[in-house]
């Protein structure tokens, strides 16, 4: 299973875009204000967290097969966190 979690102060002005691979097929979904999502698939290709709120204070955590593979630096205020599979 795949999981991303956005921890901290999450408001409706935070958008999360997730792209992941399921048996060779790319999937993509956009979430507004979501903070914890689980997927079936092989790996995340890309996860982007974008904030348009000055008061945002969030961290993106990504897990694959119940193992943390990525933890971002905190995003404070407006901006973007991006994870890309290397």
Q: What is the pLDDT of residues 13-41, one digit of tens each?
A: 899 999 999 999 999 999 987 678 888 89
> pLDDT by residue (tens digit) across 51-61?
999 989 999 99
Residue 15: the pLDDT is: 93
Alpha-carbon separation of residue 10 from 5, 19, 27, 32 (angstroms): 11, 20, 24, 10
Residue 34: the pLDDT is: 67
Q: What confidence tier does 45 reach under pLDDT thresholds 50, 70, 90?
A: very high
């Amino acid at each position: 299973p795949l999981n991303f979690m956005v921890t901290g102060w999450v408001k409706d002005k935070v958008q999360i875009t997730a792209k992941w691979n399921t048996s060779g097929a790319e999937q993509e979904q956009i979430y507004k204000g979501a903070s914890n999502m689980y997927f079936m698939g092989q790996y995340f290709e890309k996860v982007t967290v974008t904030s348009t709120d000055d008061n945002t204070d969030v961290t993106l955590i990504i897990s694959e097969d119940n193992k943390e593979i990525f933890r971002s630096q905190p995003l404070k205020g407006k901006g973007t966190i991006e994870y890309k599979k290397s």
